[in-house]
Structure 1
Amino acid sequence: MYKRETLGSRLGFILLSAGCAIGLGNVWRFPYIVGKNGGAGFVLIYLIFLILLGLPMMTIEFSIGRGSKQSIGNGLEKLEKQGAKWHLWGPTAIVGNYILIMFYSCIAGWIISYFISSLVGTFDNLDTTDIAKVFSSLTANPLKQTIWMAVAVSISMLVVAIGLEKGVERITKYIMLTLLFIMLLLTIHSLTLSRTAEGLKFYLIPNFKSMKEIGFFTILYEALGQAFFTLSVGIGSMAIFGSYIDDKHSLAGESVRIIALDTFVAITAGIIIFPACFSYDVAPDQGPSLLFITLPNIFSQMKGGRIWASLFFLFMSFAALSTLIAVFENIISYWIDVKKMSRRKACLINYILILVLSLPCILGFNILSSIQPFGEGSNILDLEDFIVSNIMLPLGCLLFVLFVTRKSGWGWDSFLKEANKGEGLKFPSKAKFYVSYIVPILIAIIMAKGILDKLI
Structure 2
Amino acid sequence: MGESPVRETLKTRLGFLLLAASCAVGLGNVWRFPFIAGLYGGASFVLVYLIFLVILGLPLMVMELSVGRAARQNIGKAFKTLQPKGTYWNIYGHIGIGGNYLLMMFYTTVTGWILAYFYSSLRGELTGLSSAETQEYFSGMLTDPIGMTFWMILSVVIGFVVTGIGLRRGVERVSKFMMLSLLFLMIALAVNAITLDGASEGLAFYLLPDFGRMMEQGAGAVILAAMGQAFFTLSIGMGGMAIFGSYIGKERSLPGESVRIVGLDASVAIMSGLIIFPASFAFGVSPDAGPGLLFVTLPNIFNQMAGGYFWATVFFLFMSFAALSTVIAILENIVSYWIDFWGWTRRRASWVNCIALIILSMPTVLGFNVLSDIQPLGEGSNILELEDMLVSTTIIPIGALIFVLFTTTRYGWGWKRFIAEANTGTGLKFPLVVRFYVTWILPLIIIAVLISGYWELLKS
Could you say which TM-score interval applies, normalised by the shorter chain? Answer: over 0.9
Whether contact under 8 Å (2:129, 2:303) holds in the other structure is yes
Deviations 1:162-221 (A, max 9, x none): 000111001110111111111111011112211111110000001122112111111111
Stretch deviating more after TM superposition (284-293 or 209-218): 209-218
Deviations 1:413-435 (A, max 9, x none): 00000000001110011211101
* Cα distance in structure 2, aligned partners of 1:103 and 1:312: 22
Which amino acid is 1:351 matched to? Answer: C
Q: Spell out the pairing of 1:189-228 with structure 2 (5 A cutoff).
A: 189-228=192-231
* One of 327, 347, 351 as aligned partner of 1:348: 351
Aligned partner of 1:16 in structure 2 is 19
SS in 2 for 1:289: helix
Name the Cα RMSD after superposition.
0.8
Mark the runs of 5 or more structure 2 residues left unpaired by the alignment.
none
Q: CA deviation at 1:406?
A: 1.1
* Cα distance in structure 1, aligned partners of 2:127 and 2:39: 29
Which amino acid is 1:285 matched to? Answer: D
* Cα distance in structure 2, aligned partners of 1:161 and 1:97: 18
Identity of aligned residues (%): 54
Aligned partner of 1:426 in structure 2 is 429
2:168 is the alignment partner of 1:165: yes
Aligned partner of 1:241 in structure 2 is 244
* One of 432, 437, 442 as aligned partner of 2:440: 437
Q: CA deviation at 1:281?
A: 0.6
Q: TM-score under structure 2 normalisation? A: 0.98
2:184 is the alignment partner of 1:181: yes
* Cα distance in structure 1, aligned partners of 2:76 and 2:198: 50
Aligned partner of 1:155 in structure 2 is 158
SS in 1 for 2:240: coil
Mark the runs of 5 or more structure 1 residues left unpaired by the alignment.
none
* One of 244, 266, 269 as aligned partner of 1:266: 269
Deviations 1:251-307 (A, max 9, x none): 010000000001000000000110110011100001110000000111111111111
Deviations 1:419-456 (A, max 9, x none): 00001110011211101110000000000110122134
* One of 294, 313, 319 as aligned partner of 1:316: 319
* Cα distance in structure 2, aligned partners of 1:216 and 1:334: 42
2:390 is the alignment partner of 1:387: yes
Q: Spell out the pairing of 1:267-416 with structure 2 (5 A cutoff).
A: 267-416=270-419
Deviations 1:6-50 (A, max 9, x none): 111110000001001000110111111111111111111111111
Whether contact under 8 Å (2:75, 2:243) holds in the other structure is yes
* Cα distance in structure 1, aligned partners of 2:342 and 2:86: 22
Aligned partner of 1:38 in structure 2 is 41
Aligned partner of 1:90 in structure 2 is 93
Whether contact under 8 Å (2:5, 2:339) holds in the other structure is no
Which amino acid is 1:37 matched to? Answer: Y
Q: Work out the number of aligned pairs and report it.
A: 456
* Cα distance in structure 1, aligned partners of 2:435 and 2:5: 38
2:101 is the alignment partner of 1:110: no
Which amino acid is 2:431 matched to? Answer: P
* Shift >2 Å, 4+ stretches: none
* One of 254, 257, 267 as aligned partner of 2:257: 254
Q: CA deviation at 1:123?
A: 1.1
Q: CA deviation at 1:83?
A: 0.9
Deviations 1:292-342 (A, max 9, x none): 000011111111111100000000000000000000000000000111111
